[in-house]
Amino acid sequence: MNQKSISIQKQITLFSPKKRLANAVNIFVITTLFYFFGASLRLIDELSLFWPLNAVLAAVFVRHPFLNRPVYYVVSYSAMVVYDIVTTHWGWQSVIINLSNMVFIIIVARLLLRYSRTQDENNWALNAFNLFYTCLIGAVLSSLLGSIGSTGPSSDYRHFISLFADWFSEQFSTGVLMMPFLLMTKWPQWKALPALQLSKLYPLLGVVISILASVVIGGAGSLAFPLPALIWCAIRYPLPVTALLTLLTGGAEIILLANSIVALSPDTPLVVSEMFSARLGIATMAICPLIVSVSVDAINRLIKQTSLRADYDYLTGVYSRSGLYEALKNTAPLNHQPEQKLCVMLLDIDYFKRINDNHGHECGDVVLAAFARRLSEIVGETGLVARLGGEEFVVACSTDTEQKGYAIAEQIRKDIERTAFRYQQQTLFITVSIGLATTTPGQQTLLDAFNSQLAQADKYLYLSKRNGRNQTSRASLSECVINS
């Protein structure tokens, strides 16, 4: 990580275990800010269309476990009460209503933290389900307390039920929509972002079109219109992007419904029970693309791990035969220019069997790994190193002349001859025989050229072995000997 990105990260780190006062101030400010935001979205009475504060604070407490101390909960609660004292005349009701906010925040944060301690960190799929039920528990308890606090003991039953339903559905849907994004998102590394391609925007376009379709067509079923497009997003985009798009889509649907732009039943205005059902439906829908996204994410990781295993030799860490073939499918890894020559060196450690016989198989493994390391150091950026099997390795280089390829092969041979390989208390010296074949690929692909030269290099390696080992053989010097 360079200096600049470190400094950016420092700038956006709001909380630290050591800075208690700064933590308290920041929690107070965030609470006030989101309280203001939620309050500005209040509908006719005291209830807000969205109340993002609880989800935001729960996410803050989950992302910074050291903040889960009574003192910070009290700071957050005080900020809410102070805001109400300044802006409303709610009196004692404010004490209970804000307590209900704290119930949601603390329950969701504590449950998720407890879960994260007991589960495998990579198991995001279960995490998405977990968010669902923690938000459910948090929303039920907090809205129960909030509704009792708002209506008081003398209020009528129907009003209580309607308030509870609205409160609960709002808390639950906002939690399920916001929490995945708030918990998974990271500060983007702009430089690492891939270039924008029009075709990548199709799933996003699908979401926009499906929302427009729900406005035009209306009815209860229209709420599910964006689902296929969101699942498409889940397959094509990274998890945090899917979480953001799901949040925006769910938010947009709630706003469109509340303002009767999407009409569930065209003749009657939206009543609380419909809003209750619609919000629950939107929250349930929101979890589907997330589950798809986490599954796709897990599959992609698995594929990456498996292909890494297949592309690299387990013992030595250099390319495996299939990994080298993959690398040679395009010119980039070798940095090959059209006018350059492709040099293929086949290397075989001399009398390797003796090392196994005299010092044990484990020693043989150590020597193989150290040999591959040294080989990679010598070849560096100029070529690719692979282990074909046993004590046989191959180096592919792009050079301007055949002579340069021969010079590299000789450099390798002499260096290995001088290198002291250590195993436990012993020092071992080995030599290597090399067969070198060179060609100008011309119209051939690098891979085809490599394959044909590998067969040639094998012949020259045989020659090196036959002529006494610890030497490099190549076409120009030895053609006559091979043919004889």
Ligand X SMILES: Nc1nc2c(ncn2[C@@H]2O[C@H](COP(=O)(O)OP(=O)(O)OP(=O)(O)O)[C@@H](O)[C@H]2O)c(=O)[nH]1
CB-side neighbour CA atoms (13 Å) of 4: 3
| Beta bridge partners of residue 345, listed in sequence order | 395, 436
Type of residue found at 114: R
> Minimum CB separation from ligand X for residue 470, in Å?
10
Residue closest to ligand X, measured at CB: 364
Token output for 459: 């012949």
CA distance 57 to 175: 11
329 binds ligand X (CB under 6 A): no
67 binds ligand X (CB under 6 A): no
CA distance 336 to 114: 53
Beta-strand pair 341-349/392-399: antiparallel
- According to CB under 6 A, which one of 84, 166, 313, 348 is a site residue for ligand X? 348
Type of residue found at 224: A
> Minimum CB separation from ligand X for residue 390, in Å?
3
Based on CB atoms, which residue is closest to ligand X, 129 or 351? 351
Q: CB 303: neighbour CB atoms within 10 A? A: 10
434-473 binders of ligand X (CB under 6 A): 465, 469
Of 227, 237, 353, whose CA–CA distance to 288 is shortest? 227
> Minimum CB separation from ligand X for residue 358, in Å?
11
309-328 binders of ligand X (CB under 6 A): 315
CA distance 462 to 268: 89
Based on CB atoms, which residue is closest to ligand X, 210 or 433? 433
- According to CB under 6 A, which one of 36, 133, 351, 429 is a site residue for ligand X? 351
> Minimum CB separation from ligand X for residue 452, in Å?
24
| Contact stretch for ligand X (CB under 6 A) within 87-95, 148-156, 228-236, 351-359 | 351-359
Type of residue found at 170: E
Residue count, binding to ligand X (CB under 6 A): 16
Based on CB atoms, which residue is closest to ligand X, 365 or 415? 365
Of 149, 66, 163, 60, whose CA–CA distance to 105 is shortest? 60
Of 346, 369, 316, 338, whose CA–CA distance to 473 is shortest? 346
Of 370, 380, 463, 462, whose CA–CA distance to 423 is shortest? 370
349 binds ligand X (CB under 6 A): yes
* 316 touches 324 (CB < 8 A): no
301 binds ligand X (CB under 6 A): no
| Contact stretch for ligand X (CB under 6 A) within 32-40, 135-143, 323-331, 343-351 | 343-351
Q: Residue 344: in which H helix or E strand, if any?
A: strand 341-349
| Contact stretch for ligand X (CB under 6 A) within 144-152, 348-356, 376-384, 443-451 | 348-356
350 binds ligand X (CB under 6 A): yes
x/- track of binding to ligand X for residues 352-391 (CB under 6 A): xx--x----x--xx--x---------------------xx
Would you tell me which residues interact with ligand X (CB under 6 A)?
A: 315, 348-353, 356, 361, 364-365, 368, 390-391, 465, 469
